[in-house]
Amino acid sequence: MVTDTEGIVLRQVKAMGGRRMISLFSQKYGKISVGTSLNEGGRNKTALSVKAFTYGRYELFKNRDNYNLNSGQVLKSYYGLGEDLDKYMVASYVLELTDKILPEELPQPRIFNLLVEFLEALEKRDKKHGTLVLAYLVKLLDILGTMPQLDSCVICEKEPAKEDGKYVADQFLFSIKEGGMVCPRCAKELALEDERPLIYKLGIGIIDILKFFQKQPMSAFEKIALDEKLQTTLQEIIKEYISYHLDISGLKSESFF
């Protein structure tokens, strides 16, 4: 059967007999492996469309268990990200993580759109890119239904006080294992303080920032960069959280973010 879909090339792998497999995040089928005998060095239209970081339209031949590439056409190439080392590194990290998270052959239209929006925003961005990656990761957790609990204590549901519309949660802790914020009393009862390093103090603003990440569209982050200390803390929390709850670790590009 011949079919076509838009997709983003996550990566290429060499396969037997000089063939290659492309890990394609397709709009229609979710993540699929597509076989091709084309190589990266080629200059024709289809050869250009199979490079990583490409958003393209692909005509595929599908038989029972396999997809093979008939032809491809670049709709937008983000390959230019490669000219900026910092952008290249964070984009590699996001692509590798997304590749690991996506199950095979399960359409994920919201994550697909999020990834396109991320690449668009990254391309235009001239500030440090960490904040954009954080926004992507938080939104990804939200779509996957694994967002940490941020309104009240995960255990007793006590809500932190609010002042001028902002949470005053500095007595609360954030527990990676429990999956969200924990009030001082429950933290004491569980002796959570002993669970380092999987426990974090919720400094001022952290809850509000995470909620902001969750709610604002990706385009809102083009010009936002958190201060460095806050960025480092949040980065640590979110990476630990993802590795614990989505069982993602050992990424090749891990040190890039």
- By CB under 5 A, which span of 84-92, 102-110, 123-131, 183-191 interacts with Zn ion? 183-191
By CB under 5 A, name the one of 85, 106, 156, 204 that touches Zn ion: 156
By CB under 5 A, name the one of 153, 169, 237, 242 that touches Zn ion: 153
CB of 153 to Zn ion, least distance (A): 3
**Three-state SS across 64-80?**
CCCEEEEEEEEEEECHH
Cβ burial, residue 80 (10 Å; 0-12/13-18/19+): exposed
By CB under 5 A, name the one of 141, 147, 183, 210 that touches Zn ion: 183
85 binds Zn ion (CB under 5 A): no
159 binds Zn ion (CB under 5 A): no
Q: Is the dihedral of CA 4, 8, 13, 14 positive or negative?
A: positive
Please tell me the distance from the alpha carbon of residue 142 to that of residue 215, in angstroms, as a whole number. 10
78: left (phi over 0), alpha (psi -120 to 50) or beta: alpha
By CB under 5 A, name the one of 155, 169, 173, 207 that touches Zn ion: 155
The DSSP secondary structure of 92-121, one letter per residue, reads: HHHHHHHHHHSPBT---HHHHHHHHHHHHH
How many residues touch Zn ion under the rule CB under 5 A: the total is 6
137 binds Zn ion (CB under 5 A): no
186 binds Zn ion (CB under 5 A): yes
Q: Would you say 201 or 223 has its CB closer to Zn ion? A: 201
Give me the residues paired with residue 71 across strands. Answer: 59
176 binds Zn ion (CB under 5 A): no
Q: How far is CA 126 from the centre of its chain?
A: 20
CB of 173 to Zn ion, least distance (A): 10
Q: Which residues bind Zn ion (CB under 5 A)?
A: 153, 155-156, 158, 183, 186
